[in-house]
Amino acid sequence: MTTTLRPERPEEPVPGGGRSRRWQICVNGRPVGGLRTTALPWGTQWWGEISELEVTDGRGRGRGTVGALAAEEVLRGWDCSRVDVRIPTEATAAIRLAQALGYTERMRNMAKHLDRAPDLPAAGLTTRPIGEAEFDDWLARAKAGYLHDLGASGLTEQQARAKSDTDHQHLLPQGPATPDVALRRLYDPEGTPLGSLWVALRQSVLANGAPLAWVMTVEVDREQRGRGYGRALMLLAERECLAAGVRDLGLNVFSSNTVATGLYDSLGYRVTHRVLGKSLL
């Protein structure tokens, strides 16, 4: 039997100049499932994604494996140098398949439903918006931290810089004046800066139509680490969300960052998806 991909729909444009297409997985010309390939430009490079992979007929016969490998060839033909898959954490069979094909986990998506505004864990802590005067310095530090985490997750330096530049330009097009963004710095009672927070207050919409906010960065100043200020910044993020009328908050955490993962676990965040990737070169 021959397993192939057949276009299910015309190719679709993706905002930012990307491309996407839905495919049928076919055995001897008969549809047995489907998947989607997406390519996104990051600087001079292209980054691939495989999503919506499902075998509807004949599971356990290797059809998902062949479909995924064929999707990788499509993405190579679209000049992608890497590919990611984002898998619900409960889909253990899909995670095992990805690992068998050489994918390694580089990131987790976590989320929490917010019931009430928490108190900050220490008295006297205050916050101020990050304004124009300090935005460039804050952005340079945010990019440096992001580059470090991207490199630790398996990206090359060129890939990390391309993704960092693209993401920050897309998410903060108007700098500190970008709508629905909370940029905050945390201070102790003496006015010493402790760390900073960036939350996209309406990053996306859940299946029930409710808005979902997203923690983009949480950074504690190096000399202040280990004193509980990361927890204070996360509680501040929850307060910002509830003040904006948003009751669901999500975040990405790189799998190598075990300290951050432990913090989010202790605050009641649960893993919703795992992001695995590999090089296509």
- What confidence tens digit (pLDDT) does each residue in 96-137 have? 999 999 999 999 999 999 998 888 777 789 999 999 999 999
CA angle (231, 233, 238) in 5-degree steps: 95
Residues 117 and 215 in one domain: yes
Q: What is the pLDDT of residues 244-258, one digit of tens each?
A: 999 999 999 999 899
Do 82 and 187 lie in one domain? The reply is no
Nearest to 118 by CA among 234, 264, 246: 234
44 and 135 both lie in a single domain = no
CATH of residue 43: 3.40.630.30
Q: What is the mean pLDDT of the chain?
A: 92
Q: Is the residue at 107 inside a domain?
A: no
257 in the same domain as 215: yes
Give the pLDDT of residue 180. Answer: 94
Q: What is the mean pLDDT of residues 182-191?
A: 94
Residue 140 within any structural domain of the chain? yes
> pLDDT band at 276, cuts 50/70/90?
very high
Overall number of domains in the chain? 2
**Helix H or strand E segment including 250:** strand 248-254
Question: Domain boundary residue among 52, 79, 102?
Answer: 102
Residues 90 and 195 in one domain: no
- Report the distance separating Cα 263 and Cα 112, nearest Å: 13
The rounded percent of the chain whose pLDDT value lies above 90 is 74
* Residue 54 maps to a domain: yes
Do 56 and 160 belong to one domain?
A: no
Q: Are residues 98 and 129 in the same domain?
A: no
Taking every pair of Cα atoms in the chain, the longest distance, rounded to a whole number of angstroms, is 73
The residue out of 102, 134, 159 marking a domain boundary is 102
The more confident residue out of 69 and 203 is 69
Provide the pLDDT for residue 1: 66
Question: What pLDDT does residue 158 have?
Answer: 85
Q: What integer pLDDT is reported at residue 15 of this predicted model?
A: 82
Burial class (CB in 10 A: 0-12, 13-18, 19+), 83: buried
Residue 137 lies in a domain: yes
State the CB neighbour count (10 A cutoff) for residue 187.
15
Could you read off the pLDDT of 35-64 as tens digits, one per residue? 999 999 877 789 999 999 999 987 778 899
Considering the domain architecture, whether residues 140 and 269 belong to the same structural domain is answered as yes
Q: With CA atoms as reference, report the closest residue to 61 among 114, 110, 97, 18.
A: 97
Together in a domain, 129 and 261: yes
pLDDT at 169: 86
Q: What is the mean pLDDT of residues 253-265?
A: 94
Q: The whole model's pTM is what?
A: 0.89
**Residues 116 and 200 grouped into a single domain:** yes
Residue recorded with tokens 């397993």: 3
Q: Are residues 157 and 183 in the same domain?
A: yes
Query: In terms of domains, do 27 and 152 share one?
Result: no
**71, 102, 133 - which closes a domain:** 102
Could you tell me the residue range of the domain that residue 241 belongs to?
A: 112-279
